[in-house]
Structure 1
Amino acid sequence: MTLFYLQDSRTDVGDGLMFWALGGGYTTSLDKAELFTQEQACSHRDTDIPWPKDYVDARAHLGVDHQYISLDEARDQLSPECTVVLQIPGHWNGNDIALAKWPIGHTFRFEKAHHLTFEAAEAIGNTPEEAVIWPLSYLEAKARRLVHKRDVNIKEALRGTGIAMAAPWEQRKPWQRPLNCHGCGRFISWDGRFLNDCPNCGANNCS
């Protein structure tokens, strides 16, 4: 049976897709996302997008959310000849930190970060403002699986599932004819008429 993640398309965190979380709320972490059957995934709001789990998992990568890491905690794991990675301060993708990659530049994909020894990292002579040394094992334990919107395509993902996504114009609210104030004739909103009298002439348009 095909299982689905359910994306809340109203919000992303950086490039990371936001999914319904197990137990409530939303998350970018695939390991914390709730799984749905096809019937369940197709019975939610128009803004919720069903993604086949296998499709998303095949395109996921590891990212490190800065909210769940601490230098004070990580320092205990720094020791001679341990393997480290370098964080590039000032670069973010949502909540994810940027890591140095070889031979130049940075990446938000933990698996593509450049590995080096602690001694080699210290010999570079970078200040904490230029690069932050993190034990590889520490960040490895903190990294979580997520997927970036540029790496997935909903038409491709749903091919063969029998699910048809509504066209953008079909997701809009039904059209409502304009409403005129019975006192002065100005346009007023259907919902607003129950909250306030006409701001122009003071007429009550509730009836």
Structure 2
Amino acid sequence: MSDLFFLQDSRSNVGSRAMFWRNGGGYTSNLNEAEQFKREPAVKQYECRETDLPWPVEYVRPRAEVGVDCQYLTKSEAEAYRNEDGRVYVAYAHEWDGNDLVWRGGKGPTGNLDDAIHPGAADAAAYLAQGFELWPCGYIVERSRPVVRAALLDHKQALRSVALKLPKLKRPRNRIYSDRLNCEGCGRFLSERQRFDDCPNCGAGNAP
């Protein structure tokens, strides 16, 4: 069993795609670019920031699908691409899952390229007439990458699969008056905002 982990930035996703720490810095939805951590460093990072969730690589990979980021596509490149077999992928115009194109699938729209239809040249014109975008299959495959939908990931199940129990983190107790000061005139509590106005109780000035 592999003991490698991805670290997810669980604060937000891009569309339906989970975001992970990228090799070299930043975050990415591309699993091929996601940094892999040993167990101990992954847990230590979670202890530093609980929104950085460790996920076993062997749990995430089988749940991946194939996405295509529109930021790495250009019409001019696609038109110049040598599309020898004439087959194309059919994309919905102006629809995205995060940055990923949404494809015409056999059962409706899909963000997973593996489920997308790819008709030959004879049938492609009909889709173009309906307002779809057509992209050469080879061009798209070369720019595809594995991604995973956050909704498919179950953290408890994932950690059980590798017998990992994360430590329970201690959260600091909220101090009711941690951001308050005493009025110099009457001694009542003032908020940080109130200190710049006259005290609402006695009228004393408390601005520094």
Short-chain TM bin: 0.7 to 0.9
**Deviating runs (4+, > 6 A) in structure 1?**
none
Corresponding residue SS for 1:13: coil
- The yes-or-no answer on 1:111 pairing with 2:114 is yes
Aligned to 1:140: 141
After TM superposition, list the pairs within 5 Å mapping 1:44-193 onto structure 2: 44=45, 45-77=49-81, 79=83, 81-102=85-106, 105-126=108-129, 130-159=131-160, 160-164=162-166, 166=168, 173-179=172-178, 180-183=180-183, 185-188=188-191, 193=192
Q: Shift of the alpha carbon at 1:81?
A: 4.5
Equivalent residue number for residue 197 of structure 2: 200
Q: Distance in 2 between matches of 1:3 and 1:28?
A: 17
Whole-angstrom distance in 2 between the partners of 1:82 and 1:165: 55
**In structure 2, C-alpha distance between the alignment counterparts of 1:23 and 1:157, rounded to whole Å:** 25
Q: Per the alignment, do residues 80 and 49 of structure 1 end up closer, same or farther by CA in structure 2, a change over 3 Å counting? A: closer
User: Which runs of 5 or more structure 1 residues have no equivalent in the other structure?
Assistant: none
1:200 maps to amino acid = D
State the AA in 2 paired with 1:181: L
Unaligned runs of 5+ in 2: 199-204
Residue correspondences, number: 193
Q: C-alpha distance in 2, partners of 1:141/1:32?
A: 15
Take 2:17 and 2:167, find their aligned partners in 1: how far apart are those partners? 21
Aligned amino acid, residue 99 of structure 2: N
Q: Decide which structure has the larger Cα Rg and report it.
A: 2
Work out the percentage of aligned pairs sharing the same amino acid: 33
AA of the residue aligned to 1:33? A
What is the root-mean-square deviation of aligned Cα atoms in Å? 2.3
Q: 1:21-60 counterparts in 2 under 5 A? A: 21-44=22-45, 45-60=49-64
SS at the partner of 1:30?
A: coil
Give the TM-score normalised by structure 1.
0.84
Which shifted more, 66-75 or 114-123? 114-123
CA offset digits 1:6-57 (Å, max 9, x no partner)? 0111121111111000011111100001000010001111110000000000
Structure 1: distance between partners of 2:111 and 2:100? 7
Q: Distance in 1 between matches of 2:172 and 2:167?
A: 16
Residue type at the aligned position of 1:109: N
